[in-house]
């Protein structure tokens, strides 16, 4: 808030003293809560600080109520307008999402008539879930507005009420004009695309991953639709059909989804990513991970890849040029947050591809990774089909609407209860997921969010790991000393001597050769079984292992019974059985 700036400019001991008094009243040590400076409050400090030259902005009570105090659900109405972007078929909230908000206690959920029709959700479905149907203006005029695409600056932003709350994709780095327009309406805007992806609890709100998963799947379907052959290889009476070869550039959520889909369809898949961690994930899906000769980490912040050095880019361009001549399909997914998508497949690479090949550019909306891509269209470039659709998730409208509705409804219902404001909507900066997504707060810019401080638990875990590594190193050094080697050798020799002596004694005291043979086999089987179970992590023990142990026990008892020569016990072994 502007209040924080006012406080930081306080001059003199009087101002600083009142500041400390107010913070003591609130029970905190950080910046003062905006509630303490409301006009008309019995202890407003405006008069007390008149001699210091500090001025306070006039804040309305409704504005303060949107802060950490929270607003009860039963005082808030939610609006869900129909998406106006051309070709958009998704809807921000499904009937199941409406039912969840109504169950939580929201006063009203108003859905624009026909908003879900393209996603196969009728108005009757919404009304059955408890929604009220209305017009575009009605939906935008509610306290909280839920959307998928950013609102149109000229036609939709003016419909928002002053001080409304908006939750949708916003892409603030690319839409500064839209952010300014929302600020003039004093809107509190939260961007679903800015929710931190590295926070465990925020993964259930991660709409970017949900949509990327669908986009990767649909990209393979679109490629198969335009590709003139099978994906899987076949040997038929008419001849052999080779499998399609696919190159996926980028091993994020969309890339991994494309890999899994293509492998299930029988294609040979190769993957390239600048992040080494992707290699294991790609291989687990059955894909071949490609590398270059330059070692450079591509790990960036927030789970994204970073921009690479000039030398690395030249090496990967050489790799792509070689692969383009061999593969049939190229799917690209490379994006850099807040910047234009990097061009990875040049014109000459497309020209070198075999006739009938296909490229699918999942970064088309941000400029494209393929130089021949035309956003929103399918074009031919020298016999190669170049797909540049920007609405791949929208081409599966029912599924994508369902997942997005789950993301946004759970995010909305977590704002407040997670920080102790049960049954209330609250933009609380203590909630890392909310703070990361917060772009505007009552018209004030809050984006980008400050970096998340490392947790004490994580620091403690790191220190514990370092101590464990040091202890292991010291133990290894001690074990390598001559005295330790001598002691270990003596113990091993003694154990072997005792074991051999036991075997010799067993042979001398055995009543028959058959008994000795079976007892020896039983002992060896016990050792093998023990080592097998002991070598498995306890977390992986399963009922199957329990059944296996039970069968082994029955086998052991049967062996003991046979060793006695009948069902009547004739010795210690028979009695034990």
* Catalytic sites, residue numbers: 197, 203, 206, 209, 304
Sequence-distant (≥ 6) Cβ neighbours of residue 339 within 8 angstroms: 173
* Contact of 322 with 328, CB cutoff 8 Å: no
* Residues 519 and 506 sit within 8 Å (Cβ to Cβ): yes
Asked whether 369 and 334 are in contact (CB, 8 A), the reply is: yes
Least Cα distance to 343 among 321, 378, 368 occurs for 368
Tokens representing residue 241 in the block: 């059909």
Separation of alpha carbons 301 and 310, rounded Å: 20
Residue 43 CA: distances (Å) to CA of 48, 64, 493: 9, 16, 85
In our burial notation (b when 16+ CB lie closer than 10 A, e otherwise), range 293-323 reads: eeeeebeeeebebeebeeebbebbbebbeeb
CA diameter of the chain: 110
| Phi and psi angles of residue 372, each rounded to the nearest 5 degrees, phi first | -90, 0
* Other Cβ atoms within 10 Å of 154 Cβ, number: 8
- The answer to whether 343 and 371 are in contact (CB under 8 A) is yes
The distance in angstroms from the start CA to the end CA of the chain is 80
Confirm if 424 and 105 have CB atoms less than 8 A apart: no
């Amino acid at each position: 808030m502007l209040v924080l700036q006012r406080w930081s400019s306080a001059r003199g001991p009087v101002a600083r003293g009142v500041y400390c008094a107010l913070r003591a009243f609130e029970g905190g040590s950080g910046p003062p809560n905006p509630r303490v400076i409301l006009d008309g409050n019995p202890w407003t400090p405006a008069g007390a600080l008149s001699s210091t030259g500090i001025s306070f902005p006039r804040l309305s009570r409704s504005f303060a109520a949107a802060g950490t105090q929270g607003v009860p659900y039963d005082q808030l109405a939610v609006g869900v307008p129909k998406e106006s972007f051309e070709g958009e078929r998704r809807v921000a909230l499904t009937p199941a999402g409406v039912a969840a908000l109504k169950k939580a206690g929201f006063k009203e959920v108003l859905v624009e008539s026909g908003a879900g029709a393209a996603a196969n959700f009728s108005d009757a479905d919404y009304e059955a879930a408890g929604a009220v149907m209305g017009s575009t203006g009605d939906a935008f005029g509610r306290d909280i507005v839920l959307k998928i695409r950013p609102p149109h600056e000229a036609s939709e932003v003016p419909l928002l009420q002053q001080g409304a709350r908006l939750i949708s994709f916003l892409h603030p780095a690319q839409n500064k004009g839209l952010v300014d327009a929302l600020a003039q309406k004093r809107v509190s805007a939260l961007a679903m695309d800015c929710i931190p992806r590295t926070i465990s609890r925020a993964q259930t709100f991660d709409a970017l991953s949900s949509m990327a998963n669908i986009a990767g799947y649909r990209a393979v379907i679109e490629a198969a639709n335009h590709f003139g052959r099978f994906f899987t290889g076949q040997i038929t009476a008419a001849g052999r059909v080779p499998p399609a070869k696919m190159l996926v550039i980028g091993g994020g959520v969309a890339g991994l989804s494309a890999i899994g889909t293509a492998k299930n369809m029988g294609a040979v898949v190769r993957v390239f990513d600048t992040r080494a961690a992707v290699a294991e994930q790609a291989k687990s899906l059955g894909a071949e991970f490609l590398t270059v000769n330059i070692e450079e980490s591509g790990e960036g912040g927030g789970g994204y890849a970073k921009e690479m050095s000039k030398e690395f880019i030249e090496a990967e361009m050489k790799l792509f040029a070689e692969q383009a001549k061999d593969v049939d399909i190229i799917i690209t997914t490379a994006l850099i947050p807040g910047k234009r998508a990097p061009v990875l497949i040049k014109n000459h690479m497309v020209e070198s591809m075999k006739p009938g090949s296909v490229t699918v550019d999942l970064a088309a909306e941000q400029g494209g990774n393929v130089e021949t891509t035309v956003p929103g269209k399918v074009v031919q470039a020298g016999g190669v089909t170049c797909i540049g659709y920007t609405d791949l998730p929208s081409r599966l409208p029912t599924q994508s609407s369902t997942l997005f509705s789950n993301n946004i409804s759970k995010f909305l219902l977590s704002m407040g209860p997670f920080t102790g404001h049960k049954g209330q909507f609250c933009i609380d900066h203590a909630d890392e997921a909310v703070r990361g997504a917060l772009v505007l707060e009552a018209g004030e810019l809050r984006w980008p969010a400050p970096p998340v401080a490392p947790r004490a638990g994580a620091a403690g875990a790191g220190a514990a790991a370092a101590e464990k590594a040091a202890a292991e190193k010291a133990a290894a050094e001690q074990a390598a000393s001559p005295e330790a080697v001598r002691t270990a050798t003596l113990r091993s020799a003694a154990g072997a001597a005792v074991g051999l002596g036991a075997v010799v004694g067993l042979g001398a005291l055995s009543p028959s050769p058959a008994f000795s043979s079976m007892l020896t086999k039983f002992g060896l089987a016990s050792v093998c079984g023990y080592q097998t179970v002991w070598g498995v992590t306890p977390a992986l023990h399963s009922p199957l292992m329990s059944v296996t142990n039970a069968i082994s026990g029955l086998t052991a008892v049967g062996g003991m019974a046979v060793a006695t020569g009948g069902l009547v016990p004739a010795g210690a072994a028979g009695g034990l059985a």
